[in-house]
Amino acid sequence: MAVDERMRVLMVSMSLQGHINPMFKLAKHLLSKGVHHVTIATTEDGRDHMLKNTKPSNITNNTNLNNSNNDSGMELVFFSDGLSLDFDRSDTESMVNTIREKGPKNLSTLITDLTKVHNYSCVIVNPFVPWAIDVAVEHGIPCALLWIQACAAYSIYYRYLKNINPFPNMDDLNEKVHLPGLPPFEVRDSPSFILPTTPCHFRLVMKELFEAMDKVNWVLGTSCYEIEEEIVNSMASLTPIYPVGPLVSPFLLGEKERSDISVDMWIPEDSCIEWLDTLPDSSVIYVSFGSLIALSQKQVDNIAVALKNSKKAFLWVIKPSNGESNHAPELPNEFLEETKERGLVVKWCPQEKVLMHPSVACFITHCGWNSTLETLVTGVPVIAWPFWTDQATNAMLMEKVFRNGVRAKYGEDGTANVEEIERCIKDVTEGPRAEEIKKRAMEMKELALRTLQEDGTSNNNINKFITDLIVGNPARA
């Protein structure tokens, strides 16, 4: 595709790993199709994490992102979220409210400085910085939204917050919800940011995002049409979403492995790949709950007992709370000794490389959308154990739409008991349904991989987006 060499795109995201990495992945697709340069703007609190934990070839102190051989075409710049760098951002209410108050001015100042040197064809924001939409409009730059959750979550939020469809009593988690393009699901499977029990500051983020949707020219999704076809079609007459994913690293899509640009907020322990190399195919239970979830001691205890009783090999990621090594939950006494011949516990790992490893049999996951996409493109069966935000919706999709795994049942405290975890492990590895689940996981893999090929739907959507930028006449429908 012939693209004006001056075409530049600005992306805006919080510095959370699961938010910024999809931006990097979309940026690489745009650059591969001739967009001249992409600037990614994120909050200053992420700078230290990135400099400590990202490979030196990917990020430098002057904020230019480069691979080891040549200019990557990306630049990473920072703006203040209004809080000091040592502020404890686990106080989410203060963090969200402060960036909502201070972020617009600080981002606007940054854009003013950037546009003294270059013009931007588009600003792409993610859902959790809705105020950035108004900043883009004030600077006269067309705005796109990169939806970093499932298209199903977009549909649910849109229909609920814009009063498009009737919803049941959202206080009753057992009530059924019926929406176009989706199987019937319970209120508990809705994205938690619309539930009355969710703190007001989180619900406000989504409310303000969908109030600003009429200022957004494009909604791009990290999902792909083939796996959410009915859901995407159901939004076509409202505000359409154009999937451009799965936004995962190129090597997961069968492309030649190369130096990849991404952000790790914790240092991955690459030695786990060498450990996996020593094990038979489809023999390892992989356990990880992402970069934000902090397990309770009871949850850790139950997982440990279930893994021990399974008699299977396992790789378990237990991330320290807030990245501090002295805050990790304690493993039960004697657990490591009793399982040392078949288990490995690490603080962080290169998840995409783990999931594509042939020794991995299944994935016990929190169902974050990035992890879900990685699971789909690698064909790994899942045990879904969601916690909050969109994770319950993703678990519902895995169970009812993708059908590539089983869902753990748990109590009001979010804790699955030992017997339930053991049941799930057996179901996806050796039970009567194991073969069916694996077959379905591989079918979903083929669908997901097809979409970014030359004639794939996501590839076509990316081309259409770039064409809209070239002609300067974006259409929402």
325 φ, ψ to 5°? -65, -20
Digit-coded pLDDT (tens) for 34-87: 899 999 999 998 776 666 655 544 443 334 433 333 356 899 999 999 888 888
309-313, 333-337, 415-419, 428-432: least confidently modelled range: 333-337
Does the pLDDT of residue 265 top 80, yes or no? no
Residue 267's pLDDT band, with cuts at 50, 70 and 90, is confident
Token pair belonging to 380 = 């790994």
How are strands ordered across the β-sheet holding 360-365? 343-346, 313-317, 284-288, 360-365, 382-384, 405-407
Q: Are the C-beta atoms of 143 and 215 separated by less than 8 Å?
A: yes
How far is 139 from 314, CA to CA, in rounded Å? 51
Does the pLDDT of residue 257 top 60, yes or no? no
Token pair belonging to 129 = 């910085």
- pLDDT for position 62: 36
C-beta contacts of 277-282 below 8 A and 24+ residues apart: 277/357, 277/359, 279/313, 279/359, 280/359, 281/358, 281/359, 282/358, 282/359, 282/360, 282/361, 282/429
3-state secondary structure of 67: coil
- pLDDT for position 447: 92
Beta bridge partners of 42: 78
Domains with residue ranges and CATH for the chain: 8-245+451-471 (3.40.50.2000), 266-449 (3.40.50.2000)
Residue 295's pLDDT band, with cuts at 50, 70 and 90, is confident
Among 395, 381, 398, 392, which residue's Cα sits nearest to residue 434?
381
Digit-coded pLDDT (tens) for 101-159: 999 999 999 999 999 988 999 999 999 999 999 999 999 999 999 999 999 999 999 99
3-state secondary structure of 319: coil
- pLDDT for position 467: 93
pTM comes to 0.91
- pLDDT for position 4: 53
Does the pLDDT of residue 280 top 90, yes or no? yes
Give the rounded percent of residues in the chain with a pLDDT score beyond 70.
Answer: 89
Which range is most confident: 6-20, 54-68, 217-231, 409-423? 217-231
Does the pLDDT of residue 364 top 90, yes or no? yes
Does the pLDDT of residue 404 top 70, yes or no? yes
Does the pLDDT of residue 170 top 60, yes or no? yes
- pLDDT for position 15: 87
